A = this chain, B = another copy of it.
Amino acid sequence: MSEPKKSFEAQLDELSQIVNELEQGNVPLETALAKFQTGIALSRSLEQTLAQAEQTLTKVVDEQGNVSDLADDDNQQAK
């Protein structure tokens, strides 16, 4: 996971671009190797992110900016 700063979307885009480039061919070997490795790493990173996804609880922010979980009743309704 070399670049954790990149957003999920940016990673997805990069993967897609790498796939397109390699499929079009004409990429020098070293570049292709680097891109391949980057692509594989990206796909793993993305996969992991997706696999590890846990549901987040809904929060409530009042006018004063106080944050609280949504009432249990509400959550139960949501489930």
Structural contact, A71 and B53, CB atoms closer than 8 A:
no
Residue of B32, B48, B53 near A78 (CB, 8 A) is B48
Contact call A47/B68, Cβ cutoff below 8 A: yes
Q: Is the interface of A mostly helix, strand, loop or mixed?
A: helix
Protomer copies: 6
User: With A and B bound together, what is the CA distance between A65 and B49 in angstroms?
Assistant: 21
Interface residue total, chain A, C-beta cutoff 8 A: 33
A72 to B32 Cα, complex, angstroms = 23
Interface residues of A (CB under 8 A from B): 1, 7-9, 28-30, 32-33, 36-37, 40, 43-44, 47-53, 56-57, 59-61, 67-68, 70-71, 74-75, 78
